Structure 1
Amino acid sequence: MTALSVNLNKIAVLRNSRGGTQPDVLRAGIACLDAGAHGLTVHPRPDARHIREDDVHALGALCHSRGVEFNIEGNPFASPRPGYPGLLALCQAVRPAQITLVPDGDGQLTSDHGFDFARDGEALRPLVAMYRQLGCRVSVFVDVGDPLVEHAARAGADRVELYTGPFAEACASGHAAAALRSAAETARRAQAAGLGVNAGHDLSQTNLAEFLATVPGVLEVSIGHALIGEALYAGLDPTVRAYRRIVDAAVGHSVSA
């Protein structure tokens, strides 16, 4: 089965653009879980441009109380600073079910590439070990088509998250076949190395079903930007329920593609 994790960063962006507490990130998280999301994702960045440290604690407590997955994304190489205690400190305090490591630079607008395992693989190994010692599952962000995707297993990761931005762009242009083939092959190679496969970035109601029907064994999708954008028109509850229908319909298909 493919789990749906809703990324709440865009709710926090809207709140922070005005200051104050509205829209309420915690209330949005509750609404998503009530509508059937399997879990919640946040990506606190050092500049606190969206999700803040207090959000991480509040949403972590919510997920623990509901018995659902909390996924924290972040750059393991980013140093602590005022307002950002560092990814490790956040995870030590909250103990999420999953930590997704991404190679974002401090000023990067959004995640747009996976790790370079030739450069960072050995440096990742002790960091992955520290996060696993917290009892957390560790996923690492990878590019579709990465020839070294198996090195995520050498670094000690449990899963990889396929960066699906290029697929979404190809799908929007009507030329998704090659991107889908590459994603499916990357997933199979990761699975052959003993890794679970997640996926995320620019997945939407328009392209998600095709992706899950073609890429084998996707365990989790993390969706935020498109979902929150669609919810502006349809409402958060109906939108999450629509995504649940897509992932539920994919059960039994993605594993056999």
Structure 2
Amino acid sequence: MTKLSVNINKIATLRNSRGGNTPDLLKVARDVEGFGGQGITIHPRPDERHIHYQDAYDLKNLLTIEFNIEGNPIDRFMKMVLEIKPTQVTLVPDGDDNITSDAGWDTVKNQEFLKSVIGKFKSVGIRTSIFVDPDLEMVKAAATTGTDRIELYTENFAVEYSNGNKESIKPYVESALLAHELGMGVNAGHDLSLDNIEFFVKNLPYLEEVSIGHALICESLYFGLENVVNMYKNKMKLN
């Protein structure tokens, strides 16, 4: 059964815009848990323009659901993750000035680097995931890094699906089947929404977790956070 992890970066963006603590990020995380969310995802970036590094530490002992920290494994990020020991760390090849994640890892070129990073996280019991495009070569090379899971980058699917192209799911299905064959779990995220989540979850085999933030928070402006969490769960057949 696919789990829903709610990315709360946009809550931090709204908070930071006024310099105070409204909305309260920690309260929102607790509320998501109370509303039935099965995980919290954050993605701190070096400039801390949304999630602050301190937020990650504050969330450490707050949550009883899964805690997933995404990011580029620069030294500061690695130190933080190794200290917090979240349920999962998702490695994303963001540049310092990326507005949002826009590509998966080249797991061939970065093979040795990823092996080293993943080995450090796994040595202290943190589940690892690598953000990858639905490219069979990249999936195959991800398996030899020692990662537990991959997270499929779903922007292309979301764009094509919105244009009526349901065939855009095919490379994701092929990637998920290969990942399972190679012993890796499958996560997915980026631009998944209420409009496409039911089709995606229904058609992607072996999908263990989706991480959804931007769309979910935007949809909550209209329907309310509690309603939206449960709308996703209903579409994913989790209720």
Give % identity: 46
Partner of 1:213: 202
Task: Give the superposition deviation at 1:176.
Answer: 2.6
Task: Give the superposition deviation at 1:134.
Answer: 1.7
Task: Give the superposition deviation at 1:146.
Answer: 4.0
Pick the aligned partner of 1:123 from 98, 106, 113.
113
CA distance in structure 2 between the aligned counterparts of 1:169 and 1:91, rounded to whole angstroms: 32
Pick the aligned partner of 1:201 from 178, 190, 201.
190
Are 2:174 and 1:185 aligned? yes
Partner of 2:16: 16
1:137-216 → structure 2 map (5 Å cutoff): 137-177=127-167, 179-216=168-205
Are 2:61 and 1:61 aligned? yes
Partner of 1:75: 72
- Does the 8 A contact of 2:29 with 2:40 survive in 1? yes
- What is the number of residues matched between the two proteins? 239
Partner of 2:79: 89
Task: Give the superposition deviation at 1:248.
Answer: 2.4
CA distance in structure 1 between the aligned counterparts of 2:135 and 2:204, rounded to whole angstroms: 13
CA distance in structure 2 between the aligned counterparts of 1:118 and 1:140, rounded to whole angstroms: 13
CA distance in structure 2 between the aligned counterparts of 1:186 and 1:35, rounded to whole angstroms: 32
Partner of 1:25: 25
Say which SS state the counterpart of residue 62 (structure 1) adopts: coil
Counterpart amino acid of 2:28?
Answer: A
Task: Give the superposition deviation at 1:212.
Answer: 0.9
- Does the 8 A contact of 2:6 with 2:37 survive in 1? yes
CA distance in structure 1 between the aligned counterparts of 2:71 and 2:172, rounded to whole angstroms: 23
Partner of 1:226: 215
Partner of 1:255: none
CA deviation string 1:115-138 (max 9, x = no partner): 012211121101100011121100
Structure 2 gap segments, 5+ residues each: none
CA deviation string 1:111-169 (max 9, x = no partner): 11100122111211011000111211000000012423121121110000000000000
Say which SS state the counterpart of residue 227 (structure 2) adopts: helix
CA distance in structure 2 between the aligned counterparts of 1:145 and 1:170, rounded to whole angstroms: 17
- TM-score, scaled relative to structure 1: 0.90
Counterpart amino acid of 2:235?
Answer: I
CA distance in structure 1 between the aligned counterparts of 2:149 and 2:20, rounded to whole angstroms: 37
Cα RMSD (Å) of the superposition? Answer: 1.2
Q: After the TM superposition, which segments of 4 or more aligned residues of structure 1 sit over 3 Å from their partners?
A: none
Pick the aligned partner of 1:245 from 230, 234, 237.
234
Say which SS state the counterpart of residue 47 (structure 2) adopts: coil
CA distance in structure 1 between the aligned counterparts of 2:192 and 2:59, rounded to whole angstroms: 23
CA distance in structure 2 between the aligned counterparts of 1:175 and 1:240, rounded to whole angstroms: 26
Say which SS state the counterpart of residue 232 (structure 2) adopts: helix
Structure 1 gap segments, 5+ residues each: 80-85, 252-257
